[in-house]
Amino acid sequence: MHYKLPKFFLFIDIYKKEHIRKLDKKIAIIYRNYTIKYDKKLILEIKDSCRKDGRKFFISNNVKLAKNLSLDGVYLPAFNKNLNLFTTNMKKEFMIIGSAHSIQEIKIKEKQGVKAIFIAPLFKTKKNKSFLSLVKFNLLALKTTQNIIALGGITVKNLKQIRMTKSYGFAGISYFKECNKVEI
């Protein structure tokens, strides 16, 4: 079976089933919550819900748990620089994706075997006032042959600007609070 990389990703730290159900089925879910220990029961509930909707589901920063629970894959944040990820005995369809903010981090993600690199932040965000801009984003994107996912500050107002990037798709939080569908 061929595993297709989703083009759109929603980051969640709290599971709101009804919000996710309203989203376009093409949007994959990445569960990341660094303030609490992962609850296997909750992860399995999200997994089951995503499977029923035909949606891909990833958890952040725990390869072993993602593998053991037969998730679609794992998301490695930029701060994860571990090159020993215990990737043996993985299903062919299991996908590792990750984020980067610099050329050095892009090279680390490549060594980690990611299939897509989330480059961030493309636009200004509430959390981070410094951002790459379209030119710097594209310059970073040219440093890899991996699929690039735009991340950071994406809104309905600036969505069309993503067409001017070397991006395969985009990820976000606030965009999907404003809009349930995906178009670029």
pLDDT in tens, 33-50: 988 899 999 999 999 999
**In a 10 Å sphere around its CB, with 0-12 CB exposed, 13-18 middle and 19+ buried, how is residue 41 labelled?**
exposed
Domain range summary for the chain, segments of one domain joined by +: 8-178
**pLDDT of 177:** 78
Residue (of 129, 121, 72, 128) closest to 100 by Cα position: 121
**pLDDT of 88:** 64
pLDDT in tens, 1-21: 346 899 999 999 999 999 898
Residue (of 10, 25, 35) closest to 118 by Cα position: 10
Q: Which residues of the chain have pLDDT under 50?
A: 1-2
Domain 8-178, CATH: 3.20.20.70
**pLDDT of 2:** 47
Q: What is the pTM of this model?
A: 0.91
**pLDDT of 86:** 65
**pLDDT of 14:** 92
